[in-house]
A and B are shown apart, each in its own frame.
Chain A
């Protein structure tokens, strides 16, 4: 073997991989991925492709309020899925709402993931008292329902932050609240994997070289414990989107001026019994489809990365 065979490109290796094969084999997963992609792209491009700018109060016409969907009697072709009580186009609010929901979901999951992975790594690698303290905090956290902690943080934040900044900071408070209430799953998983990895000889080899423990954690242990984190992260994303919707539905999430799907469902809910069903049903259906698609992706990823289920 004199000639150096170039390693195949990353894309080629991915297409050839077992994971991609199992992806192609599962029709449900392919559909879920396509649906997720459409929603994510739609939400990302929302401000440009939405037929109406619902954030611009001047463009709203109260006379158009309570317009039913276009196929019902009294529908208006310019409002595909009808309008809400303030004359906002429901289709546009859903696009922009999904954008907020996804943003909060991604940001909160990322926050929980980084916090959880770091604490789990430290807990597992350092061990001893540090481990005990972090894990007891995790236990305490687990003994409260996540939504209660999110509510608590939201309530405290409302007390601390000046009233006129509420609407600006509400988004960040929600992200923080959901992130804080979800880090334990990551921390526990990573701690478990770290305990296994740190006794492997490649970590000892790194210790003999005399690397700083932090370097060993990040460069050696972290890449080997990330597999399960990816799965929890995908499933956690669906959970975080739902948690945001729940908080917004309860009225402590993002403000109605820049509504998320949860806010839309709450606002529409007030009119459900007076017959204007489209205001709450369409955002609700959107939320269900989004969460279902992400969950299916997460389930597939969990199975694909688990060699025992192949």
Chain B
């Protein structure tokens, strides 16, 4: 399969991949209970939340995944930190494949090097714990420091690193605003000196002004500590701001992977283009645009062939029957028969449709 080679790119600068997912899949069994299946003859139902995606992230790089609700972004995030086990495929971190690791013990050596920042700052901190204890938990769990004094000093340092004050450590999470809580969450994630941070929509629950602060903080920390980010978001503006490379997900698969600049200047995949068309823009006032029509189909019963074909204005018979594989086009990887065959024109989709 020629595309397998293509699907294993190094990162944008040609450095070897630090984190790599290959054929990564996660299926959920959502079948009705056994009795219903036996008595009512209902079939087993498998939800393919993530269905064979490949990407690689270089050290110090920010790789983003974007897509509509239910496309499997968050499942990928959970797979990448080992909260879920992969149904198929591998997740490689610095040469360790942990996609199928079953025991906590097997994960232990790389545990402290991977951390996660969560979406909901109101749920991600234990309401009964003081901030100091929350941040110190990874340090104690991995026995990185011994003695309360050393741990307290480290927590103070972490609080300052996320632009809070050591005095905040004695408070409870409910005494903070959403943005401050997200800083606490980041401090906890940094406590174990991780190299790879998975950020699952870290700003989507915050006010716009606070979003920018958190994003800038994350960028600063990346520069200072050499962090590698996997950034999950549905907010394209945020993604453009923070990413080096972007993967567009649709229904558990990657539609397009490209450097952020390329993706936003020259989107190739019809889905990416429709997504970008939805960004409100002062220049676009009055311009005819094509909204992303319809809804994401059910991942329990995905469409045949290219899963985007029911919503794609360029779909033909091949799209309905054959699943497209990612093909290298310039510096982008695009899974689209239309782009491969040159059927998809470069102009805005709205005009193309009218023509």
Cβ B124 vs Cβ A205 within 8 A: yes
Chain A nearest CB, measured from B211 CB (Å): 18
Residues of A191-230 at the interface with B, using a CB-CB cut-off of 8 Å, are 200-202, 204-212, 220, 223-224
**A4, B114: Cβ atoms under 8 Å?**
no
Partner of B126 from the list A4, A207, A211, A224 (CB cut-off 8 Å) is A224
Q: Is the CB of B124 within 8 A of A208?
A: no
Q: Verify B82–A202 contact, CB threshold 8 A.
A: no
Q: Is the CB of B127 within 8 A of A209?
A: no
Find chain A residues with CB under 8 A from B138 CB.
209
A105 CB to nearest B CB, Å: 28
Using A1-B165, A4-B170 as known contacts, say yes or no to A208 and B127 having CB atoms under 8 A apart: no
Are the C-beta atoms of A210 and B141 separated by less than 8 Å? yes
* Given A1-B165, A201-B124, A224-B126, A208-B81 contact (CB < 8 Å): yes
Q: Which B residues are in CB contact (< 8 Å) with A200?
A: 123-124
Which chain B residues lie closer than 8 Å to A201 at the CB level?
118-120, 123-124
- Within 8 Å of chain B (Cβ to Cβ): is A7? yes
Q: Which residues of chain A have C-beta atoms less than 8 A from B192's C-beta?
A: 209
Pair B141/A208 contact, Cβ less than 8 Å: no
Give complex CA distance A201, B81 in Å: 13
> How many angstroms between the C-alpha atoms of A223 and B126 in the bound complex?
9
Inter-chain CA distance A34–B188, complex, in Å, is 46
Q: Look across to chain A and name the residue whose beta carbon is closest to the beta carbon of B125.
A: A202
Partner of A5, one of B108, B141, B142, B167: B167
Q: How many A-B residue pairs have CB under 8 A?
A: 60
Q: Is B287 part of the contact surface with A, judged by Cβ < 8 Å?
A: no
Q: Mark B50-89, 1 if CB is under 8 A from A, else 0.
A: 0000000000000000000000000000100111000000
Instruction: Give the number of residues in B that approach A within 8 Å (Cβ atoms).
Output: 32
Interchain CA distance A220-B82 in the complex, whole Å: 20
CB–CB B104/A212 < 8 A: yes
Give the distance in Å from the alpha carbon of A223 to the alpha carbon of B172 in the complex.
Answer: 14
Q: Are B114 and A208 in contact (CB under 8 A)?
A: yes
Cβ 8 A contact of A207, one of B83, B119, B120, B125? B83
Judging by beta carbons under 8 Å apart, are A206 and B82 in contact? no
Residues of A within 8 Å of B142, CB to CB, are 209
User: A1-31 toward B: CB 8 Å interface, digit per residue (1/0)?
Assistant: 1111101000000000000000000000000
B177 → chain A, closest Cβ, in Å?
Answer: 15
Residue of B nearest to A226 (CB): B128
Contacts of A3 in B (CB 8 A): 167
Task: Answer yes or no: B320 CB below 8 A from chain A CBs.
Answer: no
Expressed in whole angstroms, the Cα–Cα distance for A284 and B112 within the complex equals: 63
What are 25 A-B residue pairs whose CB atoms fall within 8 Å in the complex? Answer: A1-B165, A1-B167, A2-B165, A3-B167, A4-B166, A7-B170, A200-B123, A201-B119, A201-B124, A202-B125, A202-B126, A204-B118, A204-B124, A207-B83, A208-B83, A208-B115, A209-B111, A209-B138, A209-B192, A210-B104, A210-B107, A211-B141, A212-B104, A223-B128, A224-B128
Q: Give chain B's interface residues, CB within 8 Å of chain A.
A: 78, 81-83, 104, 107-108, 111-112, 114-116, 118-120, 123-128, 137-138, 141-142, 165-167, 170, 185, 188, 192
Lowest 5 A-B CB distances belong to which pairs? A201-B124, A201-B118, A210-B111, A223-B128, A200-B123
